[in-house]
Structures are given as structure tokens and as C-alpha cells.
Structure 1
Amino acid sequence: MSELGPVMVEAAPSAALRPYVTRLTAYHERYGEPVTRAEAAMPGAVLILGFGSAMEVDGERLTSFAGGLADRFTVTRTAEPTEGVQVFLTPFGARRLYGVPMRHVTNTVLPVEDVLGPWARAAVARLAETPSWPERLALADRLLTERILAAPELGPEVPWAWARLLRTGGDLGVSSLAGSLGWSHRHLVARFHDQIGLTPKAAARVIRFGRAAHRLRTGGAIAQVAAECGFYDQAHMNREFRALGGTTPGQILPRPGSSGGAH
């Protein structure tokens, strides 16, 4: 491909993979000069099965890499053409795929083989040999489904608590979650560290930031969004956007044709 910029083809995961993967994207990026980005914290984990040139992630050159959830933004720099498949994992998809407590990969990006071993080498090789992007995405879906479903199942309690946090946009007290499950605060935090990697409070913070960014992109006014999303005031929202997104609310521009609406 000779055109400059990012070229992406997206696919929804198959039904079996849907609880664990929210999006699959085949991509190719090529720019006339290096591009540096602040990648915002999000309520999920990212897996890159890449081939071609490496990119810089928090200063380290990586081609294929895996990470957990984060409560800070990550800086990436793309200077040479990159290509591969990007996988957006739910916390529970990452927990079953990686096979390690999620606290070990929080705020961390590692070479994919350090996390997934020989499986990663074989997966990347097979994807690189597949020329058609739709076939590449279908292959990624099959490989991920096989590995995730072969891993031990997780109990329903933390996924239930996570769904509650998502539904409320992070506006739910930790004591309320613990009480609903009949758990102590300490036990809830320990289970979140294992299956999500963040504490319930930190997870709610990331979810609230994502909800606020979405509202701004769909035309919400800053003051209104701050109030709706549970920030103390605009100064509080500004600090959170800098910490979690490397940006400010005023730099989040509405998408063309967007209109305000509930997240």
C-alpha cells in the first residue's frame, strides 16, 4: 500500500468471542513523518499482533505487544509503516487469554511473546501469511476463540460488578458494589485486581472519563458533561482528562454530524 495515513478494516467478533473481544481491526499505517499520539485509558485491554516495522510504545520499540488496563495515557510514536491486527479485549477476555492475574499487566505494555509465548509467534506468522484482510480478521477470530475458551472460566461476580459500573458510567460507590455481592471491601478489591487489574474506584474513574469523552464527541457542552458525568467541577474534569487522556476537554471536538445524546 502506498497511500499515506491509516487504513483500517474492522470486524465484529463472532458470537462465541463477543463476551471477551469488543472489536477486531486489521490496519496498515504509513506516514510522511513520525506521528506521536497520546492513547487514552479505556475500560479494556489492547493486543497488537503486528508485523512489519516496530513502533514506539512509552519509549520502547515493539512490533507485537500486549497490555492490561491502565489508569493513565500511553504515548505511541509511529515512524515507519506498520501492519497487523489490533484486538480490543474486555478485562475478562484479557484475563482468560493471558492466563495471569491482571494486576501483573496493569499500566504495562509487554512484547506479546512475554505474555502469550509460542502461541503468539504462531499467530503472528499465520496472520502475516494471510493476504486478504477479511480472511486475516476471520483467522484472528478463530485463533482467539480457541485460546480463550480453552482457559478456565471465571466466576460471574466480577463480570456482574463490571457491567454495573459500565451501565452507570462509573457512577457507583464501591461499598454499594461490595454490599450487593455480600463481599467485604477488601475481597472486592482483591477480585478486581485479579480479573480487571484496577481497583473498583480506579476502574470507575476510567469508565467515567470514557463516558465524558464520548459525550463531548457527540456535542455535549463542557459544563453540562462535567455535571452529568459526576465530576466535582470543570477543573476536576480537566485534571482527569490530562491524566487519563493526555488532553483537555476543550480539545475533544464533536464529530461531524453528531448530536447530543445519552451514552
Structure 2
Amino acid sequence: MFGRVYVERPFAGLACAWQRTTAGHETGRVVPDGCTDVMWSTSGELFVAGPDTRAHLTTSSGPGTLFGVRFGPGTGPAVFGVPGHVLRDERVPLAELWGPTARLEDELGAADDPCAVLGAAALGRLRARPPDPVAAAIAAAVPTTGVAGLAADLGLSVRQLHRRSLAAFGYGPKVLHRVLRFHRAVGLARAGVPFAEVAHRTGYADQAHLSREVRDLAGVPLGQLIRP
């Protein structure tokens, strides 16, 4: 029997920890959320998923479990030591960013809770390389402020804002707010909020606007995307 089980749990200092178990050959769809993940699979792969601008299809060839920890928007690139745009839409072996990872891989293979091992390693890096202090303000800004207004509020030029946003998030501020709005909308839809209300609560012009954005960013209609 084939089946997929995905579970998230809180992890102090990070967005969450998660694991996904598959029982056979399956394809999944990962959609943009502004986040960055570091993952380890029971087949031995240890890699980073950068911030996405489009849906990323994943394929499992057989039974196995993928463990991951997720960094909120603007946090992950600091952990990996590269600007966010370098990781955008990429899946990169962790060793290319951190150097040799044999010891970490050994710890993961022996661990009862691989997510705890991943999280501890990530938090150690995060303490050594904290994220840009303006990242939280960029992410929290109201999109209607506009790029020029946001730059002025932060005491930056428009060019400086764009450069720091690319480094922290992998996106410029306009794309960042588009992705974050989409992510909020999908979360509300999955919670059972009617689509028209989702559009209103997340700032889309109407339900048709929401539908177009979901198709563009996820590659499928909203109803199909949230289907269990």
C-alpha cells in the first residue's frame, strides 16, 4: 500500500521541524513559502532547499523518510553563508555550503531524532551568523506601502533595500510579499476558509485574482493544491 505521511512540530529558534514518510513511488508538490530548509533522508542525502519562486515537484522511488528543519523567511541564508538569491529555486548538497559533513551524517544516521540533530547544527550556525536585522521589518511590511515607501521607512535607498532583500530572502521585496501573501492564502484555504473570503482577507482584488496567483505560483488550482 502506498501512502504519504507528513508531520510538523515546533522547534525553538526555527520555523518548525518536520518529517515526511513515503511507502512507495510518489510525487509531491512543494510550493513557495519564502522559507529555506535543510533536509536529510534515510537514503543518505543531506541537502538544502532554497527559497522557491515556483512549485517544485518531488519524487520518491520507494519507502523512506525525509527529515527537515525549516527557517523562516530571511533566516536561512545566514545559516548557509550565502546570499539568498544563490539558493533560489535550488536544491544544494549541504557539503557545498558547510564543507565536509561526514560527522554530521554519522550523527544523523545514529540518531533517534534526526530533526533534533539538524536543528542543533543549524542553530549553532545561526548564532555565529545572525540574519540581517532589517529582514524582519521587510517581511512584516504592508505591501501597499510600496518599495519606495518601505525603503524610506527603513532609512535605505531603493537599491539598498532590493540588495538586502535579495540577500536575506532570495527575492526582491515585491516578489517576497507576493510569495508571503500566497502562503497565507493557502494556509487559510487549508483551514477551511471559503475561497472568496481568503481572497478578501489576504488582499487579492477578488477570487479570480487569487486563482490566477495560485495557478502561477503552484501550477495547479487552489482546490487541487489543498486536496488531502
Structure 1 residues 39, 154: closer, same or farther in 2, change over 3 A? closer
Q: CA deviation digits over 1:177-207, x for unaligned, max 9? A: 2121121211100110111110100000001
In the alignment, which residue of structure 2 is the partner of 1:248? 221
> Aligned match of 2:128 in 150, 162, 167?
150
User: TM-score scaled to structure 2, two decimals?
Assistant: 0.87
Shift of 1:171: 5.4
Distance 1:195 1:88 in 2: 15
Shift of 1:230: 2.0
**Which runs of structure 2 are paired with 1:32-51 in the superposition (5 Å)?**
34-51=25-42
CA contact (8 A) 1:178 1:184 kept: yes
In the alignment, which residue of structure 1 is the partner of 2:164? 191
Structure 1 residues 226, 11: closer, same or farther in 2, change over 3 A? closer
In the alignment, which residue of structure 1 is the partner of 2:77? 95
Structure 1 residues 154, 224: closer, same or farther in 2, change over 3 A? closer
Q: Report how many aligned residue pairs link the two structures.
A: 228
**Which runs of structure 2 are paired with 1:149-228 in the superposition (5 Å)?**
149-151=127-129, 153-162=130-139, 164-165=140-141, 168=142, 172-228=145-201
SS in 2 for 1:52: coil
CA contact (8 A) 1:51 1:64 kept: no
Distance 1:172 1:252 in 2: 30
In the alignment, which residue of structure 1 is the partner of 2:109? 128
Identity %: 26
> Aligned match of 1:22 in 12, 15, 35?
15
Q: Relative to structure 2, which stretch is displaced further, 244-253 or 104-113?
A: 244-253
* Structure 1: stretches of 5+ with no match in the other structure: 54-62, 256-263
Structure 1 residues 139, 250: closer, same or farther in 2, change over 3 A? closer
Structure 1 residues 241, 194: closer, same or farther in 2, change over 3 A? same
Structure 1 residues 11, 201: closer, same or farther in 2, change over 3 A? same
* Structure 2: stretches of 5+ with no match in the other structure: none
CA contact (8 A) 2:68 2:118 kept: no
